[in-house]
Amino acid sequence: MITGIVGAVFVLQYFIPHWPFSKMNAWFSDWFSIVAAFAIWLGALNLMKISAQKVVGRKEDWGYALVIIFSFLLIVIPGFAGGQGYREAGTFFSWLYEWAYTPLSSTMFAILAFFVASASYRAFRARNLEASLLLIAAFFVMLGRVPVGDILTGFMPVGWRLSDLASWVMNYPQAAGQRAIMIGIALGLVSTSLRIILGIERSHLGGE
């Protein structure tokens, strides 16, 4: 019931942006912001709970669980102790952000570059017409979006070089495909949202 009322208010306030819907919209947005924060807290605290259970029960890899708890406290303590200026330049919190959090998170994603390349070698095959089209579009874009593409097609007249072709592919056929996907997804989301608001879809509450 909560779901239905809240959802309906958000829909109604779009069509009737006046009292009481405008006020309710403001309240609900504020609440959402706070609940969202608590939801992320829940995630962090749950991680601590699981890690602590691992350490206490001396389960496999409990040493790493201890490292998780230790590094959590390492950043949380100066974060809370630092008051409102906790992340200003020069604080230990900002030091950790710049020299531990940044390299770790960036490298996590950076190594994906290697796996993308290895997957291209193993799985990217021109098996049929569709796959070949995919491959050609990828080539155009990969070459055309970096200066090397124009060096390779320097003999072509201006306007027909790889960068121009890549631009055309991105702005027209690619944009058309994206739009079809976008509309398709929107249709799906709109109908699912409607089902949720009307109470037909309730799986999010734990499957009844």
Q: Interface residues for other proteins in 20-49 (CB under 8 A)?
A: 22, 25-49
Nearer to other proteins by Cβ, of 27 and 56: the residue is 27
In angstroms, rounded to a whole number, what is the distance separating the alpha carbons of residues 67 and 44? 15
How far apart are CB 53 and other proteins at their closest, in Å? Answer: 12
How far apart are CB 51 and other proteins at their closest, in Å? Answer: 8
Number of shown-chain residues binding other proteins (CB under 8 A):
143
Give, as ranges, the residues between 2 and 21 that touch other proteins (CB under 8 A). Answer: 2-11, 14
Is 114 an interacting residue with respect to other proteins (CB under 8 A)? yes
Give, as ranges, the residues between 59 and 88 that touch other proteins (CB under 8 A). Answer: 61, 64-65, 67-76, 79-80, 84-88
Is 146 an interacting residue with respect to other proteins (CB under 8 A)? yes
| Among the listed residues 140, 193, 188, the one whose alpha carbon sits nearest the alpha carbon of residue 167 | 140
- DSSP letter string over 74-105? HHHHHHHHTGGGTTSTTSHHHHHIIIIIHHHH
How far apart are CB 94 and other proteins at their closest, in Å? Answer: 8
Candidates 16, 56, 156, 181: give the one binding other proteins (CB under 8 A).
181
How far apart are CB 132 and other proteins at their closest, in Å? Answer: 9
Nearer to other proteins by Cβ, of 59 and 80: the residue is 80
Candidates 52, 55, 62, 142: give the one binding other proteins (CB under 8 A).
142
Triad 56, 59, 60: Cα angle to 5°: 145
Is 160 an interacting residue with respect to other proteins (CB under 8 A)? no
In angstroms, rounded to a whole number, what is the distance separating the alpha carbons of residues 50 and 56? 10
How far apart are CB 181 and other proteins at their closest, in Å? Answer: 7
In angstroms, rounded to a whole number, what is the distance separating the alpha carbons of residues 114 and 107? 12
Give, as ranges, the residues between 83 and 112 that touch other proteins (CB under 8 A). Answer: 84-89, 93-112
Candidates 20, 136, 156, 160: give the one binding other proteins (CB under 8 A).
136
Give me Rg for the CA atoms of the chain: 26
In angstroms, rounded to a whole number, what is the distance separating the alpha carbons of residues 74 and 174? 47
Query: In sequence order, which ranges of the chain are alpha helices (DSSP H)?
Result: 2-15, 21-56, 62-81, 92-96, 102-110, 112-123, 129-144, 148-152, 162-171, 173-197
Q: What is the amino acid identity at position 89?
A: A
